Structure 1
Amino acid sequence: MSYFIDVILPIPLDKEFTYSVNQNEAHFLKPGMRVAVQFGKSKVYAALVTKIHQTAPEIYDAKDIEHILDEVPIVTSHQLKLWSWISEYYMCSKGEVMRAALPSAFLLESETIIHRNDKEEIDENLLKDDEFLLYEALQHQSLLRIQEVMDIIGKKNVLPLIKRLIEKKVITVQEEIYEQYKPKLVRYVKLQVSYTSEEGLQALLDSLSRAPKQRDVLMHLFMLQAQSTKAIKVKDLIKASNSTSGVVKTLIDKDILEEYHLQTDRVQYESNAVASSKNLNTYQEQALLAIKESLLEKDVCLFHGVTSSGKTEVYVKLIEEQIKEGKQVLYLLPEIALTTQLISRLQEYFGKKLTVYHSKYSVNERVEAWNNVKESKEKAQIVIGARSSVFLPFTNLGLIIIDEEHESSFKQYDPAPRYHARDTAIVLSKMFKGKVVLGSATPALESYFNANQKKYGLVALTRRYGNVLMPDINLVDLKTKYKRKEMKGHFSDTLLKAIEEALKEGEQIILFQNRRGYSPVVECNTCGHSPQCPNCDVSLTYHNYRNQLRCHYCGYHIAMLQKCQACGSHELTTKGFGTEQIENELRELFPEHNIGRMDQDTTRGKHGYEKIITKFEEGEIDILVGTQMLSKGLDFRNVTLVGIMNADNLLNFPDFRAHERSFQLMQQVAGRAGRTSKRGKVLIQTYNPFHQILQQVSVNDYDGMYKDQIEERYQYKYPPFYRIIKITGRHKDYNRVNEATDWLAKSLRMSFKENILGPEFPPISRIRNQYNKNILIKIPNGQSLKKTKEIIRKIQNSFKSIKEFSGVRIIINVDNY
Structure 2
Amino acid sequence: MPYFIDVILPVPLDKEFTYSINKNEAAFLKPGMRVAVQFGKTKVYAALVSKIHQNPPQIYEAKEIEHILDESPIVTDSQLELWSWIAQYYMCTRGEVMRAALPSAFLLESETIIFKNEQTKVNESVLKDDEFMIYEALQHQSLLRIQEVMNIVSKKNVLPVIKRLLEKDVITVQEEIYEQYKPKLVRYVKLHSNYSEEGALRLLLDSMTRAPKQREALMQLFMLQANSNKPVKVEELVKKSNSSSAVIRTLIDKNILLEYNLQTDRVQYEGEQKVETKELNTYQNKALDEINDSFLEKEVCLLHGVTSSGKTEIYVQLIEKTIQEEKQVLYLLPEIALTTQLIARLQEYFGEKLTVYHSKYSVNERVEAWNNVKNKKNKAQIIIGARSAIFLPFVDLGLVIVDEEHESTFKQYDPAPRYHARDTAIVLAKMFSAKVLLGSATPALETYYNAKSEKYGLVELTRRFGNVLMPEINLVDIKTKYKKREMTGHFSDTLLEGIQHALKEGEQVILFQNRRGYSPVVECNTCGHSPQCPNCDVSLTFHSHRNQLRCHYCGYTIAMLQQCMACGSSELSTKGFGTEQIEKELEELFPEHTIGRMDQDTTRGKHGYERIINRFENGEIDILVGTQMLSKGLDFRNVSLVGIMNADNLLNFPDFRAHERSFQLMQQVSGRAGRTQKRGKVLIQTYNPFHQILQQVSVNDYLGMYKDQIEERHQYKYPPFFRIVKITGKHKDYNKVNDAMNWLVKSLRNVFAENVLGPEFPPISRIRNQYHKNILIKIPQKQSLAKTKEVIKRIHNSFKSIKEFSGVRIIINVDNY
Q: Give TM-score scaled by structure 2 length.
A: 1.00
- Deviation sequence 1:42-81 (CA, Å, 0-9, x none): 1000000000000000000000000000011000000000
2:545 matched residue in structure 1: 545
The alpha carbon displacement at 1:272 in A equals 2.5
Deviation at 1:762, TM superposition (A): 0.5
Per-residue deviation, 1:711 = 0.1
Matches within 5 A, 1:530-541: 530-541=530-541
Amino acid at match of 1:363: V
* Structure 2 residue aligned with 1:592: 592
Residue 574 (structure 2) aligns with: 574
Letter in 1 for 2:57: P
Q: Which amino acid aligns with 1:471?
A: P
1:767 and 2:771 are equivalent in the alignment: no
- What are the within-5 Å matches in structure 2 for residues 162-561 of structure 1? 162-561=162-561
Does residue 76 of structure 2 align to residue 76 of structure 1? yes
Distance apart, 1:504 and its partner CA? 0.4
Q: 1:672 maps to what in 2?
A: 672
Aligned residue type for 1:668:
Q
Residue type at the aligned position of 1:195: Y
CA shift for structure 1 position 273: 2.3
| Aligned mates of 1:500, 1:158 — CA distance in 2 | 60
Deviation (angstroms), 1:269: 1.2
The Cα offsets for residues 232-261 of structure 1, whole Å up to 9 and x where unpaired, read as 000000000000000000000000000000
- Which residue of the partner structure matches residue 116 of structure 1? 116
**Cα distance between partner residues in 1 of 2:472 and 2:57:** 69
Summarize deviations over 1:595-639 as a string: whole Å, max 9, x none.
000000000010000000000000000000000000000000000
User: Is 1:138 aligned to 2:141, yes or no?
Assistant: no
Moved over 6 A (4+): none
SS of equivalent to 2:419: coil
Amino acid at match of 1:401: I
Equivalents in 2 of 1:130, 1:768: separation in Å? 30
* Separation (CA, whole Å) in 2 of partners of 1:361 and 1:622: 30
CA shift, 1:276, in A, is: 1.3
Cα deviation digits, residues 566-604 of structure 1 (max 9, x gap): 000000000000000000000000000000000000000
- Name the aligned partner's letter for residue 443 of structure 2: P
Q: Which residue identity does 1:325 align to in structure 2?
A: E
Superposition deviation, residue 204 in structure 1: 1.2
Task: Report deviation, 1:274.
Answer: 3.6
The residue aligned with 1:646 is 646
Q: For residue 160 of structure 1, report the CA deviation from its aligned partner.
A: 1.1
Give the whole-Å Cα distance in 1 for the aligned partners of 2:226 and 2:502: 54
* Cα distance in 1 between the residues matched to 2:801 and 2:319: 53
RMSD, aligned CA: 0.5
More displaced 10-residue stretch of structure 1: 159-168 or 461-470:
159-168
Alpha-carbon distance in structure 2 between the residues aligned to 1:583 and 1:569: 28
- CA deviation after TM superposition for structure 1 residue 121, in Å: 1.5
Please state how far the C-alpha of 1:210 moved relative to its aligned partner.
1.5
1-structure distance, mates of 2:164, 2:679:
74
SS at match of 1:405: coil
State the Cα distance separating 1:171 from its structure 2 match.
0.4
Distance, in Å, in 2 between the alignment partners of 1:534 and 1:178 is: 39
CA distance in 2, matches of 1:86, 1:97: 7
Counterpart in 2 of 1:127? 127
Q: What residue in structure 1 maps to residue 147 of structure 2?
A: 147
Q: In 1, Cα distance between the equivalents of 2:47 and 2:15?
A: 13
Which letter maps to 2:310?
G
* Partner Cα distance (1:118, 1:157) in 2: 26
Question: Hey, what's the Cα distance between the residues in 2 that align with 1:197 and 1:283?
Answer: 67
Name the structure 1 match of 2:683: 683
> How far is 1:725 from its partner?
0.1
Matched, 1:95 2:95: yes
Deviation at 1:131, TM superposition (A): 1.3
3-state SS of 2:350 partner:
helix
Deviations 1:337-371 (A, max 9, x none): 00000000000110000000000000000000000
Residue 104 in structure 1 maps to residue 104 in structure 2: yes
What SS does structure 1 have at the residue aligned with 2:724?
A: strand
The 3-state SS of whatever aligns with 2:545 is helix
Which segment drifts farther, 265-274 or 746-755?
265-274
- SS at 1:546 equivalent: coil
Aligned length: 817
Q: Distance in 2 between matches of 1:15 and 1:167?
A: 34
Q: For the residues of structure 1 that align with 2:441 and 2:270, how far apart are their CA atoms?
A: 32
Residue 227 of structure 1: how far off its partner (Å): 1.2
Q: Which residue of 2 aligns with 1:807?
A: 807
Question: Cα distance, 1:161 vs. partner?
Answer: 1.0
Distance 2:308 2:103 in 1: 35
Per-residue deviation, 1:778? 0.1
* Equivalent position SS for 1:545: coil
CA-CA distance at 1:126 after TM superposition: 2.1
Distance apart, 1:125 and its partner CA = 2.1
Question: SS of 1:625's equivalent?
Answer: strand
Q: Which deviations, in whole Å up to 9, do the C-alpha atoms of 1:682-709 show, x marking residues without a partner?
A: 0000000000000000000000000000
Give, in whole Å, the separation in 2 of the partners of 1:130 and 1:89.
49
List runs of 5+ in structure 1 lacking aligned partners: none
Is 1:7 the counterpart of 2:22? The answer is: no
State the alpha-carbon separation in 2 of the partners of residues 196 and 627 from structure 1.
63
Q: Note the alpha carbon deviations across 1:662-687, whole angstroms, 9 max, x for none.
A: 00000000000000000000000000
Deviation string for 1:756-809 (max 9, x for gaps)? Answer: 000000000000000000000000000000000000001000000000000000
The one-letter amino acid paired with 2:89 is: Y
Q: CA deviation at 1:200?
A: 1.5
> What SS is found at the alignment partner of 1:736?
helix
Q: 2-side partners of 1:437 and 1:564: how far apart? A: 55
SS at match of 1:753: helix
Shift of 1:320: 0.1
AA at the equivalent of 1:635 = D
SS in 2 for 1:798: helix
The corresponding residue for 2:749 is 749
Give 1:390 shift: 0.2
Q: Deviation digits for residues 695-747 of structure 1, max 9, x if unmatched?
A: 00000000000000000000000000000000000000000000000000000
Do residues 692 (structure 1) and 703 (structure 2) align?
Answer: no
Cα drift, residue 226 of structure 1: 1.1
Q: Secondary structure at the match of 2:813?
A: strand
How many angstroms apart in 2 are the aligned matches of 1:424 and 1:130? 51
Taking the aligned partners of 1:461 and 1:446, their CA distance within structure 2 comes to 19
Alignment deviations for residues 537-566 of structure 1 (CA, whole Å, 9 cap, x no partner)? 000000000000000000000000000000
Cα distance in 2 between the residues matched to 1:662 and 1:767: 25
CA distance in 2, matches of 1:200, 1:812: 76
Shift of 1:119: 1.1
Cα distance in 2 for residues equivalent to 1:241 and 1:700: 62
Q: Give the superposition deviation at 1:165.
A: 0.9
Code of the aligned partner of 2:562: Q
SS at match of 2:31: coil
1:612 aligns with 2:646: no
CA distance in 2, matches of 1:579, 1:156: 35
The code of the aligned residue for 1:705 comes to M
Supply the distance in 1 between the matched residues of 2:415 and 2:115 (Cα, whole angstroms).
Answer: 36
2:61 maps to 1:61: yes
Structure 2 residue aligned with 1:655: 655
Correspondence for 1:158: 158
Given the two structures, how large is their TM-score scaled by the length of structure 1? Answer: 1.00
Per-residue deviation at 1:271?
Answer: 1.8
Letter of the aligned partner of 1:756 in structure 2?
Answer: V
2:343 & 2:117 partners in 1: Cα distance?
Answer: 56
Name the SS of the counterpart of 1:20 in structure 2.
Answer: strand
* 2:768 equivalent to 1:790: no
Higher mean alpha-carbon deviation, 579-588 vs 116-125, is at 116-125
